[in-house]
Chain A
Amino acid sequence: MRPVFISLLLFLSACSGPVNDPYPASEFGKSIFYSAFTEPPKHLDPARSYSSNETPFTGQIYEPPLQYHYLKRPYQLVPLAATAVPAPHYFDSSGRELPSTAPASEISESVYEIHIQPGIEYQPHPAFALDKSKNPVYMPMPSDVLGRVGAIPDFPRQGSRELTADDYVYQIKRLASPRLQSPIAGLMANYILGFDSLSEKLNSAAKTQKGWLDLRQFPLAGVETVNRYTYWIRVKGKYPQFVYWLAMPFFAPMPWEVDAFYSQPGMADKNLTLDNWPVGTGPYMLTVNQPNRQMRLVRNPNFRGEPYPSQGEPGDAAAGLLADAGKPMPFIDEAVYSLESETIPYWNKFLQGYYDASGISSDNFDQAVRTGAGGDVELSPEMKEKGIQLRTTVAASSFYMGFNMLDPVVGGLDDRHRKLRQAISIALDEEEYIAIFANGRGIPAQGPLPPGLFGYRDGQAGINPVVYDWTGGKPHRKSISSARRLLAEAGYPDGRDGVTGKPLTLNFDTASHGPDDKARLDWLRKQFRKLNIELVIRGTDYNRFQDKMRDGTEQIFEWGWNADYPDPENFLFLLYGPNKKVGSGGENAANYQNPEFDRLFVRMKDMANGPERQAVIDQMVQIVRQDAPWSFGFHPKNYGLRHSWVKNAKPNLMANNELKYLRIDAAARETARARWNRPDWLGPILAVLVLLLALVPAWRAYQRKLQASAR
Chain B
Amino acid sequence: MIAYLIRRLLYALPILLGVNLLTFALFFLVNTPDDMARLHLGVKRVTPDAVEKWKAARGYDKPLFVNARADGLGKVTDTIFFDKSLSMFAFHFGVSDDDRDIANEIKTRMWPSLAIALPTFVIGLMVNVSVALILIFFRRTYVEWSGVVALVALMSVSGLFYIIGGQFLFAKVWQLAPISGYQSGLNAARFVWLPILVGIVGGVGSGARWYRTLFLEEANKDYVRTARAKGLSETAVLFRHILKNGMVPILTGAVAVFPLLFMGSLILESFFGIPGLGSYTINAINSQDFAIVRAMVFLGAVLYIVGLILTDVSYTLVDPRVRLS
State the A residues within 8 Å of B (CB). 1, 4-5, 8, 11-12, 15, 18-24, 40, 42-43, 50-51, 178-179, 181, 183-187, 268-271, 273, 275-276, 290-293, 338-342, 344-345, 348-349, 352, 354, 541-544, 546-547, 550, 585, 587, 677-681, 683-684, 697-698, 701-702, 705, 709
Interface residue from A8, A544, A585 paired with B48 (Cβ < 8 Å): A585
A585–B45 CA distance with the chains assembled, in angstroms: 8
Residue in chain B with minimal CB distance to A559: B43
Contact between A183 and B174, CB atoms less than 8 A apart: no
Give 8 nearest A-B pairs by CB, closest first.
A543-B35, A22-B178, A292-B275, A345-B180, A345-B179, A680-B174, A42-B98, A293-B275
Contact residue among A40, A270, A342 (Cβ-Cβ distance under 8 Å from B180) = A342
Q: Within the complex, what minimum Cβ distance (angstroms) separates B39 from chain A?
A: 5
Residues of A within 8 A of B101 (CB): 268-271
Residue B175 CB within 8 A of the other chain: yes
Q: Which residue of A lies closest to B150 (CB)?
A: A694
| A43 partner residues in chain B, CB cutoff 8 A | 98
Q: Do A543 and B288 have beta carbons less than 8 Å apart? A: yes
**A24:B187 contact, CB within 8 angstroms:** yes
A547 to B170, CA, bound (A): 44
Is the Cβ of A684 less than 8 Å from the Cβ of B170? yes
Known: A585-B48, A680-B173. A4 touches B179 (CB 8 A): no
Whether A183 pairs with B41 at a CB distance below 8 angstroms is yes
- Which residue from A4, A178, A179, A270 sits with its C-beta under 8 Å from B200? A4
In the complex, which residue of chain A has the Cβ closest to the Cβ of B279? A292
The answer on a CB contact under 8 Å between B174 and A679 is yes
Question: Once bound together, how far apart are the Cα atoms of A460 and B178, in whole Å?
Answer: 51
In the assembled complex, the Cα of A11 lies from the Cα of B197 at a distance in Å of 14
Name the one of B31, B42, B175, B200 contacting A679, with C-beta atoms under 8 angstroms: B175
Contacts A1-B200, A344-B179 known; A541 to B288 CB distance under 8 Å? yes
Tell me whether chain A's interface is mostly helix, strand or loop, or mixed.
Answer: loop
Distance in Å from the Cβ of B134 to the closest Cβ of chain A?
A: 7
SS class, residues of chain B in contact with chain A: helix
Chain A hits for B142, CB < 8 A: 697, 701
Cβ contact within 8 Å between A678 and B41:
no
CB distance from B37 to the nearest CB of A (A): 9
Which of chain A's residues have a CB closer than 8 A to the CB of B279? Answer: 292
Bound complex: CA A257 to CA B100 (Å): 22
B45 touches A183 (CB 8 A): yes
Partner of B176 from A19, A276, A349, A697 at Cβ < 8 Å: A19
Please indicate the chain B residues that have their CB under 8 angstroms from the CB of A542 in the complex: 39, 288
**Residue contact A698 to B143, C-beta cutoff 8 Å:** yes
Partner of A186, one of B43, B49, B197: B49
Given contacts A348-B172, A354-B178, 6 further A-B contacts (CB under 8 A): A4-B200, A40-B98, A43-B98, A273-B99, A345-B180, A550-B38
Residues 98 to 146 of chain B near chain A (Cβ within 8 Å)? 98-101, 104-105, 108-109, 123, 127, 134, 137-138, 141-143
Contact A20:B47 (CB < 8 A) given known A273-B99, A348-B171: no
Q: Using CB atoms, name the residue of chain B closest to A700.
A: B143
Closest chain-B Cβ to A263's Cβ sits at a distance in Å of 14
A341-B179 CB under 8 A given contacts A186-B47, A543-B39: no
In the complex, A186→B47 CA distance in Å? 7
B313 close to chain A: CB less than 8 A = no
* Residues of B that sit less than 8 Å from A by CB: 31, 35-36, 38-50, 53-54, 57, 95, 98-101, 104-105, 108-109, 123, 127, 134, 137-138, 141-143, 169-183, 187, 189-191, 193, 197, 200-201, 204, 233-234, 270, 273, 275, 279-280, 283, 288
Pairwise interchain contact A697-B143, C-beta atoms closer than 8 A: yes
Known: A543-B38, A547-B35, A701-B143. A20 touches B53 (CB 8 A): no
CA distance A23 to B178 in the complex (A): 9
Query: CB within 8 A of B46: which of A183, A291, A709?
Result: A183
User: Nearest B residue to A42 by beta-carbon distance?
Assistant: B98
B178 touches A705 (CB 8 A): no
- Assess whether A269 is in contact with B104, with CB atoms less than 8 Å apart: yes
Contacts A1-B204, A348-B171 given; does A293 touch B182 at CB 8 Å: yes
Question: In this complex, what residue of A is CB-closest to B96?
Answer: A42
Residue of B whose beta carbon sits closest to that of A273: B99
Contact A683 B175 (CB under 8 A): no
Closest approach, in angstroms, between the C-beta of B94 and any C-beta of chain A? 10
Question: In the complex, what's the smallest C-beta–C-beta distance from A67 to chain B, in angstroms?
Answer: 21
Whether A543 touches B123, Cβ cut-off 8 Å, given contacts A183-B41, A679-B175, A698-B134, is: no
The answer to whether A21 and B176 touch across the interface, beta carbons within 8 angstroms, is: no
Q: For residue A187, give the distance in angstroms from its CB to the closest CB of chain B.
A: 6
Q: Which residue of B lies closest to A41 (CB)?
A: B98
Nearest chain B residue, comparing its CB with the CB of A275: B99
Q: Which residues of A contact B123 (CB under 8 A)?
A: 4
Q: Which residues of A contact B100 (CB under 8 A)?
A: 271, 276, 291
B226 to chain A, nearest CB (A): 18
**Which residues of chain B are near A587, meaning CB under 8 Å?**
44-45
CB<8 Å pairs between A and B, sample of 10: A19-B176, A179-B57, A290-B108, A291-B100, A340-B181, A341-B283, A542-B39, A680-B174, A684-B176, A709-B234
In the complex, what residues of B have CB within 8 A of residue A702's CB? 137-138
Considering the chains assembled together, what is the distance between the CA atoms of A702 and B45 in angstroms? Answer: 74
**Residues in A neighbouring B201, C-beta threshold 8 A:** 1
Provide the residues of chain B in CB contact with A185, threshold 8 Å.
50
Q: Are B48 and A19 in contact, CB atoms less than 8 angstroms apart?
A: no
Task: Report whether B234 and A181 are in contact in the complex, using a CB–CB cutoff of 8 Å.
Answer: no
Task: Point out the residues of chain B lying under 8 angstroms from A293, CB to CB.
Answer: 182, 275
Are B175 and A546 closer than 8 Å at their CB atoms?
no
Contact present for B50 and A271 (CB under 8 Å): no
From A181, A186, A546, A677, contact of B39 by CB (8 A) = A546
* A181 partner, pick from B31, B41, B204, beta carbons under 8 A: B41
Are B233 and A709 in contact (CB-based, < 8 A)? yes
- Pick the residue among B169, B174, B197, B273 that contacts A342 (CB under 8 A): B273
Of B38, B95, B177, B275, the residue contacting A290 (CB under 8 A) is B275
Closest Cβ–Cβ distance, residue A487 to chain B (whole Å): 32
Contact call A21/B39, Cβ cutoff below 8 A? no
- Contacts A22-B191, A273-B99, A342-B273 given: A680-B42 contact, CB under 8 Å? no
Report how far A1 CA is from B208 CA in the complex, Å: 12
In the bound complex, residues from chain A placing their C-beta under 8 Å from that of B190 are 15, 19-22
User: Using Cβ atoms and an 8 Å threshold, which residues of chain A touch B138?
Assistant: 698, 701-702, 705
CB distance from A52 to the nearest CB of B (A): 10
Q: Out of B42, B170, B234, which one reaches A50, CB within 8 Å?
A: B42
In the complex, which residues of chain A have a beta carbon less than 8 angstroms from the beta carbon of B105?
292
Q: Give the complex CA separation of A588 and B228 in angstroms.
A: 83
Scoring B141, B175, B189, B288 by chain A CB atoms within 10 A of each residue's CB, the highest score goes to B175
Closest to A678 in B: B175
Most B CB within 10 A of own CB, among A181, A268, A291: A181
Residues of chain A with a CB closer than 8 A to B283's CB: 341
Which residues of A sit under 8 angstroms from B38, Cβ to Cβ? 543, 546-547, 550
Q: How far is the CB of A353 from chain B (nearest CB, A)?
A: 11
Q: Are A585 and B183 in contact (CB under 8 A)?
A: no
Cα–Cα distance between A20 and B169 once the two chains are bound (Å): 13
Smallest CB separation, A243 vs chain B (Å): 19
Nearest CB on A from B2, distance (A): 33
Q: Residue of B at shortest CB range from A708?
A: B234
Inter-chain CA distance A345–B46, complex, in Å, is 34
Q: How far is the CB of A690 from chain B (nearest CB, A)?
A: 13
Q: Is the CB of B53 within 8 A of A181?
A: yes
Contact of A585 among B40, B42, B46, B98 (CB under 8 A): B46
How far, in angstroms, from A681 to B279 measured CA to CA in the complex? 30
Q: How many whole Å from B292's CB to the nearest CB in chain A?
A: 12
Which residues from B are CB-within-8-Å of A187? 45
> Counting chain B CB atoms within 10 Å of each CB, which of A292, A683, A701 scores highest?
A292
Known contacts A1-B127, A1-B200, A683-B173; decide if A340 and B180 are in contact (CB<8 Å): yes
- Say whether B171 contacts A20, CB under 8 Å: yes
Chain A residues with CB under 8 Å of B177's CB are 19-20
Q: What's the nearest-Cβ distance from chain A to residue B164, in Å?
A: 10
A183, A338, A340, A677: the one contacting B175 at CB < 8 Å is: A677
